Amino acid sequence: MHGVTAADNSILCTEDYCKNYPGPSDTPCPTLPSRCNKTDPESGIFLASPTPCNCCDFCIGYLNEGDSCSTGEETSDSPSEICGPKLYCDQATLKCRPMMETICTEAQMKYDQDKAQGKIGDYQIRPICDSNGDYVPYHCTPGGICYCVDKDGNRVFGSMDNNGKAAFELPCTCSRNHKEMSAVIGRELHPGEYFRCTQNGAYESLQCIDDQTCLCVDAIDGAPTYKDVAPVEIWAISATTLPCFNSSIYQKEFL
């Protein structure tokens, strides 16, 4: 099932709709940048397309180190190409340059040096950095567990068994945001100041602010999932007032 990007309620997003898209009256799918290759994740980033039901492929190609780039303006069109992972567009030269060393990339270099010298232990793995040079949200120990970490690699709330699926099942967004907000205000957050996190570091779907007003949120970004449903006072919670309420899960806590 695809998401509708147009405001036309007559469009029904089905597999058949996209198989037959574009039709005679539809806008043709845009041509993908030549750099983009679905079989090569390093060639670009594939995103939802600005077409009905996201039927078309849409990609922003990755530029290589030394390629010409543009920092763009607020009024500029969306770019078709950007500097690739661990690269940035140098405003002085308008060329893609390597990012400054981060805690994660420095840890990678240290690991590589130790490995070359035979100093790596059986349970050590090479740190994984994201496109900004920060640690990815999780760290795994061979044969053990995977746990959530902040962008500097420090452990935060959230963990699971190391079953090889941490990239898909350990988002850590709630626990990471909690840590970052604590750093911003300079103290630990009090109950009622933050959303509750699930065991995998995601947002719990039912949230109550100051134990008074409750609402449903998205597990990944914490945004309200039912924007037309007003927050509900905690004493009035039920499956009727809040769609995300599950009495088998929350019975002891709210009933």
* CATH code for the domain in which residue 80 is found: 2.10.80
pLDDT reported for residue 204: 92
Give the confidence band of 96 by pLDDT, cuts at 50, 70, 90: very high
Residue 134 has pLDDT above 70, yes or no: yes
Of 35 and 254, which is predicted with more confidence?
A: 35
pLDDT reported for residue 2: 44
Concatenated DSSP letters of 85-97? TTEEEETTTTEEE
Q: Is residue 194 part of a domain?
A: no
Nearest to 57 by CA among 21, 111, 8: 21
Q: What is the mean pLDDT of residues 148-162?
A: 95
| One domain for residues 19 and 86 | yes
Question: Among the three residues 69, 99, 129, which one is the final residue of a domain in this structure?
Answer: 99
CA-to-CA dists, residue 17 to 2, 5, 52, 183, angstroms: 10, 14, 10, 47
| One domain for residues 19 and 83 | yes
Range of the domain at 221: 206-254
Give the confidence band of 1 by pLDDT, cuts at 50, 70, 90: very low
| One domain for residues 74 and 125 | no
| One domain for residues 75 and 136 | no
Residue 254 has pLDDT above 70, yes or no: no
| One domain for residues 170 and 216 | no
Q: Is residue 108 part of a domain?
A: no
Ranked by mean pLDDT, which of 36-50, 79-93, 169-183, 239-253 comes out on top?
A: 169-183
| One domain for residues 63 and 157 | no
Q: Is residue 200 part of a domain?
A: no
| One domain for residues 91 and 125 | no
Question: Among the three residues 185, 215, 230, which one is the final residue of a domain in this structure?
Answer: 185
Contact 213, 219 (CB under 8 A): no
- Looking at every residue in the chain, the average pLDDT score rounds to 84
φ, ψ of residue 185 to 5 degrees: the values are: -90, -10
| One domain for residues 146 and 235 | no
CATH of the domain at 158: 4.10.800
Over pLDDT 90: what percentage of the chain?
A: 34
Q: Can you give the pTM of this predicted structure?
A: 0.65
pLDDT reported for residue 108: 92
| Distance in angstroms (rounded) separating the CA atoms of residues 23 and 30 | 14
Give the confidence band of 194 by pLDDT, cuts at 50, 70, 90: confident
pLDDT reported for residue 6: 43
For 125, the token pair is 């793995």
Tokens 């690739």: give the residue.
Answer: 84
| One domain for residues 74 and 39 | yes
Q: Is residue 191 part of a domain?
A: no
| Distance in angstroms (rounded) separating the CA atoms of residues 105 and 132 | 10
| One domain for residues 89 and 20 | yes
pLDDT reported for residue 4: 45
Q: Is residue 33 part of a domain?
A: yes
Q: Is residue 132 part of a domain?
A: yes
Q: Is residue 81 part of a domain?
A: yes
Count up the domains in the chain and report the number. Answer: 3
| One domain for residues 167 and 214 | no
Give the confidence band of 152 by pLDDT, cuts at 50, 70, 90: very high
Q: Is residue 161 part of a domain?
A: yes
Q: What is the mean pLDDT of residues 200-223?
A: 90
| One domain for residues 20 and 66 | yes
